[in-house]
Amino acid sequence: MGRKKETVTIYDVAREAGVSMATVSRVVNGNPNVKPLTRKKVLETIRRMGYRPNAVARGLASKRTTTVGVVIPDISYAFFAELARGIEDIANMYHYNIILCNSDLKKEKELQLIEALFEKQVDGLLFLGGEVTDEHREIFSGSDIPVVLAATRDEKEKNRPFVTIDQVQAAKEATEVLIREGHRRIGLLGGPLTDPIIGYPRYLGYREALLDNGFTLEEKWIRLGNYRYDSGLKAAKELLGTEEGPTAFFAVNDEMAAGALHAAQDLGKRVPEEISVIGFDNIPLASQIRPLLSTVAVPMYDIGAVAMRLLTKYMNDEPIEKNQVVLEYRLELRDSTRLQGELAH
C-alpha cells in the first residue's frame, strides 16, 4: 500500500502474450503486418494488464512527440481564445496535443518559451501575434522544427509561412465606411504604433483612408490605448469632450469600440444618429451590446484552424501548395453606424 503503482511496459505485455516486443509495438501502432489471431491475443493481454503506452519513450525512439507548441499573447483575450480554439480543434483532429503558452507579447518571454518548447521536442510551433525579430529568426532557423505564424507575418523573412488577413486594407475599408456616412471628423482609437501586428497596420489603414479621400490626418483625433475596453472608454470621453471633437470613431478592436460607444452614450449622445462607431475583430462582445457594434469580421477561428492545418502538412511532409495565406474578412455593419448590412470585402 502507498507504494508506486507498477508500470507495465511493452516488454511485460510481450512476455505475457508470448510474443516479442516488436509485435506488441506493431499492434499498438496499428501496423497491418500482424496475424489477426496474434493481434487479438496481444490486444487481450494489453487490456487485461492495463497496459498504457509511454508516449515519452515513444517520442524518444521515434523522434516525434505529436505535440505542437503554441505561443500566444494572452489567452484571456476573446480574440486569442477563439483563435486557440480553432488551433486546438484541428490539432485534435490530427491527433496532436498543444502546449499553450502566454507570452504577454514580451519578447524575452517569447524567446524563452520558444526555446523551452523546442527542448520539449514539439513537432511544430505556432507563433501568434508579436513581432518577429532577428532573435526569433535565429532560433527558428536553428532547428528543423516547422514554425508557422498566425495572425501575424514576418515582414523581413519573406518566406516564413503565415496565416492572417490584410490588416491595412481592412482598417482602411472600415474607416471609409465612416467617410461614406459623411463624417469629416473621424477619431482613431488605436493601439501602440510599435505593435507591428495590430497597432501599426490598422493605424496605417486609417491613415490611408483619410489621405486617399482628401482628408488630412489630425493628430488631435488620435488616441492610442491598450486594446482594452477602459482605454477606449477613456479616450473617447476625452475626445468627445473637446471643442471640435470627432463625430465618428474607428477603433482598432472591438473592446475599445465598445468603450467608445458607451462613452458617447454616457455623454448623452446617440449612436449612430450623432456618433458612429466601428470596431475590428467581431468578438462576441460586438453583438452583446446595444446598439450592436459594426465591425470588421475577422475569421479568428479559421486563422487558427488554417494555420494548424498548414503546420500539420509541414509535420507530415505533405505537399504544400501555398504556405502564406491571407484570409478574407467582411465588414459587418450593424447598428453603431448608419450604413448597415453586410458588405462583402
Partner DNA sequence: CTGTTAGCGCTTTCAA
Partner DNA sequence: TTGAAAGCGCTAACAG
Comparing CB distances to its own copies, the nearer of 60 and 343 is 60
205 and 168 in contact (C-beta within 8 Å)?
yes
Comparing CB distances to DNA, the nearer of 30 and 319 is 30
Tell me the Ramachandran region of residue 121: left when phi exceeds 0, alpha when psi lies from -120 to 50, beta otherwise: left
For DNA, the binding residues in 36-55 under the rule CB under 7 A are 36-39, 51, 53-54
Q: Tell me which stretch binds its own copies (CB under 8 A): 11-19, 60-68, 155-163, 203-211.
A: 60-68
The reply to whether 15 sits near DNA by the rule CB under 7 A is no
Closest separation in Å from C-beta 97 to DNA: 16
Comparing CB distances to DNA, the nearer of 17 and 236 is 17
Tell me the Ramachandran region of residue 319: left when phi exceeds 0, alpha when psi lies from -120 to 50, beta otherwise: beta
Which ranges of 63-144 would DSSP assign to H, the alpha helix?
78-93, 107-119, 134-141
Report the DSSP pairing between strands 248-251 and 295-297: unpaired
Q: Tell me which stretch binds its own copies (CB under 8 A): 13-21, 39-47, 72-80, 185-193.
A: 72-80
Q: Tell me which stretch binds DNA (CB under 7 A): 23-31, 84-92, 146-154, 334-342.
A: 23-31
Sole residue written with cell 487490456: 47
How far is Cα 106 from Cα 154, in angstroms, rounded to an integer? 17
Strands, sheet with 295-297, edge to edge from the N-terminal-most edge strand = 295-297, 330-333, 341-343
132 and 152 in contact (C-beta within 8 Å)?
yes
Burial bucket for residue 43 (CB in 10 Å: 0-12, 13-18, 19+):
middle
Q: Nine-digit cell at 300?
A: 479568428
Closest separation in Å from C-beta 242 to its own copies: 23
The reply to whether 26 sits near DNA by the rule CB under 7 A is yes
**Residue 322 near which of its own copies, DNA, none (CB within 5-8 Å, type-dependent):** none
Length of the chain: 345
Among 3, 4, 35, 95, binds DNA (CB under 7 A): 35
The reply to whether 143 sits near DNA by the rule CB under 7 A is no
For its own copies, the binding residues in 258-317 under the rule CB under 8 A are 258-259, 262, 265-266, 284-285, 287-290
How far is Cα 314 from Cα 267, in angstroms, rounded to an integer? 53
| Interface residue list for its own copies (CB under 8 A) | 4-5, 50, 52-57, 59-60, 65, 67, 74-76, 78, 81-82, 84-85, 88-89, 92, 97-102, 115-121, 142-144, 229, 255, 258-259, 262, 265-266, 284-285, 287-290
| Interface residue list for DNA (CB under 7 A) | 7, 9-11, 18-23, 25-26, 28-29, 32-39, 51, 53-54, 57-58, 60-63
